[in-house]
Chain A
């Protein structure tokens, strides 16, 4: 089962700003990229102006393998917003690169989700002008 949306209510659009634009440009092209510090190679998410490890402002958008495991998850039994139809789950995925990403599963029921479940990224063109990275179970 995948996330069900209410067509009458638009999904809240992520505000795109200079610091996070590279992530969303990648997602639109169905690529999962994360900020990586050019100076020390640290992968960073969420995106930010400078690297907390070496304080460099130089960064690049590096492609992720898209593979990871479920680190944590919640299941909404009541929807907090009219766009989203409950019940649905929200996962926190830990990617191989070490960063974590909040997302949704596709084709997986809430009861089937478990911490440690291997997943890989897919892309959902949910509406006009909005693609979201989501995850499916591997294996």
Chain B
């Protein structure tokens, strides 16, 4: 038996489904998940009986067995759970590996959250009843000092980035402005027809300095799903296949979840840099070949940082690259988050970025980039990361 050297061109995304984004879905997360999966199956021209693998985000409350018993799936032979904000890229990689290894034929990846309405299931206790080591770090050495919100944790890193590169933090506004422009064109978006200007951004209030409210996401209710299969099977299905050309996950020394304060430099995203190296080398392409990027914009300042780490510009040049918005608009040289992303479409923990990457390659985006052939997706900025390079034939 020969060892597969890389996942490149072995797997494809053949179906996608995404709900609209809202502040109150009026549905349970499980229902949102099932509905999104149904849309993805219909999109692929498959039935529930075809599905033999499920991949989900670790914290997603919709267990695999609840999904199968609600949707009437048959026998399943492959599962995977992926953690952190890095989950989207990692989930596609997990599914791609599953079909490429012959462990399953058609794998569904799904995500569903009622982040806004809070119609959440009671989180299950870890079997030992203990806190995770990551929670322990935060509760022991950060929380007693009032360092408790996610925005606060990120702000500490952004402060160093501002300090080391002499950034005017008002310039961070171009990322949310452009993401909202893209989202305003997308009927699925929580912000459809609701763009804002750079002046609106500048006037917005600081929540945890140096972060303003418009620098980061709002909670939303939404769900998405996609179907992965082998490149061979993809040929027989109805949609234009979107191939996985590069996939990687990442962790480096002293990585923490948005709390990487204790290593020498904290003003960058070394996990993202590592993802970049691996996916570019696997796909055999370079940053200049990428037609469109879908980056983790749960915190806007992480976008210029990711552009630098992925090699789209030099260290410290990310904010200038985004300045004015022209480079990153859908007509620009490196279109960013064309369905709106977390800041402009809604927060689904990076899954919507993945769905949009597929649409760009298929040519069905609401802010279509001309001749989009290679799209890079990056998830999990500020902690363990992941990424994909997706492409058409």
- Chain A residues with CB under 8 Å of chain B are 3, 11-17, 20, 45-46, 52, 71-81, 83-84, 88, 90, 92, 99-104, 110, 115, 130, 132
Contact A102 B261 (CB under 8 A): yes
Docked complex Cα distance between A88 and B145 (Å): 10
Bound state CA distance, A28 and B205, in angstroms? 38
For A77, the chain B residues whose CB sits under 8 A away are: 205-209
Q: Does B39 make an interface contact (CB < 8 A)?
A: no
Contact B140 A46 (CB under 8 A): yes
Closest 7 CB pairs of A and B: A80-B149, A84-B146, A75-B209, A74-B155, A14-B140, A80-B148, A90-B147
Chain A neighbourhood of B140, CB < 8 A: 14-16, 20, 46
Task: Assess the A90–B205 pair: CB atoms within 8 A.
Answer: no
Does B123 reach chain A (CB closer than 8 Å)? no
Residue pair A74, B144 in contact (C-beta under 8 Å): no
Q: B208 contacts A12, CB within 8 Å?
A: no
Q: Are A71 and B146 in contact (CB under 8 A)?
A: no
A sample of 18 more A-B contacts (CB under 8 A), given A71-B266, A74-B159, A76-B207, is A15-B131, A52-B253, A72-B156, A74-B155, A74-B156, A75-B209, A78-B207, A80-B146, A81-B146, A84-B148, A90-B147, A90-B152, A90-B156, A102-B141, A102-B145, A110-B209, A115-B160, A132-B144
- Decide yes or no whether B163 CB sits under 8 A from chain A: yes
| B66 proximal to A (CB < 8 A) | no
Within 8 Å of chain A (Cβ to Cβ): is B139? yes
A-B contacts, 5 of them at CB < 8 A, read A12-B139, A90-B146, A90-B147, A100-B261, A103-B145
Assembly CA distance A93 to B316 (angstroms): 23
Could you tell me if B149 and A102 are in contact, using CB atoms closer than 8 angstroms? no
**Cβ-defined partner of A11 (8 Å) among B144, B157, B159, B208:** B144
Closest Cβ of chain B to A97, distance in Å, is 13
B148 CB contact (under 8 Å) in A3, A14, A72, A81: A81
Could you tell me the distance between the alpha carbons of A104 and B253 in the complex, rounded to whole angstroms? Answer: 27
Q: Is B286 part of the contact surface with A, judged by Cβ < 8 Å?
A: no
Contacts of B141 in A (CB 8 A): 14, 20, 46, 101-102
**Is the CB of B311 closer than 8 A to any CB of chain A?**
no
CA A103 – CA B143 in complex, angstroms?
10
Chain B CB within 10 Å, residue with most, of A14, A88, A104 = A14
Residue on B with the closest CB to A126?
B144
Range of interface residues on B (Cβ < 8 Å) = 20 to 34
Residues of B near A79 (CB, < 8 A) are 146
B264 to chain A, nearest CB (A): 9
Residues A14 and B209 in contact, CB atoms below 8 Å apart: no
A98 to chain B, nearest CB (A): 9
Judge whether B145 and A104 touch: CB under 8 Å: yes
A-B pairs under 8 A by CB, number:
103
- A76's contact among B139, B146, B157, by CB below 8 Å, is which? B146
Given A14-B141, A20-B140, is A104 in contact with B146 using a C-beta cutoff of 8 Å?
yes
* C-alpha spacing A104/B157, complex, angstroms: 17
Closest Cβ of chain A: how far from B383's Cβ, in Å? 16
Are the C-beta atoms of B210 and A74 separated by less than 8 Å? yes
**A90 engages B145 (CB within 8 Å):** yes
CB of B277 within 8 Å of the partner chain: no
CB < 8 Å: which of A46, A72, A84 contacts B159? A72
Q: How far is the CA of A89 from the CA of B262 in the complex (A)?
A: 19
CA distance A103 to B20 in the complex (A): 41
CA distance A4 to B149 in the complex (A): 17
- In the assembled complex, the Cα of A52 lies from the Cα of B252 at a distance in Å of 12
Nearest-CB residue, chain A, relative to B160: A72
Contact A100 B262 (CB under 8 A): yes
Q: With a CB–CB cut-off of 8 A, which chain A residues contact B285?
A: none
Instruction: Tell me whether A132 and B163 are in contact in the complex, defined as CB-CB below 8 angstroms, given that A74-B209, A90-B156, A92-B261 are known contacts.
Output: no
Cα separation A16 to B148 with both chains bound (whole Å)? 18
Residue among A3, A15, A79, A110 with most chain B CB within 10 A: A15
Within 8 A of A (CB), among B112-148: 131, 136-137, 139-148
* Closest chain A residue to B263, Cβ basis: A100
- Cβ < 8 Å to A, chain B residues 173-189: none
Residues of A within 8 A of B208 (CB): 74-78
Nearest A residue to B209 by beta-carbon distance? A75
Contacts of A110 in B (CB 8 A): 209
A73 with B156, Cβ < 8 A, contacts A78-B207, A102-B145 known? yes
Contact with A along B181-222 (1 / 0, CB 8 A): 000000000000000000000000111111100000000000
- What is the distance, in angstroms, from B22's C-beta to the closest C-beta of chain A? 24
- Cβ of B160: which chain A residues have Cβ within 8 Å of it? 71-72, 115
Complex-state Cα separation, A92 to B207, whole angstroms: 18
Please name all residues of chain A whose beta carbon is closer than 8 Å to the beta carbon of B142 when the two chains form the complex: 90, 102
Contacts A90-B147, A104-B145, A132-B144 given; does A15 touch B139 at CB 8 Å: yes
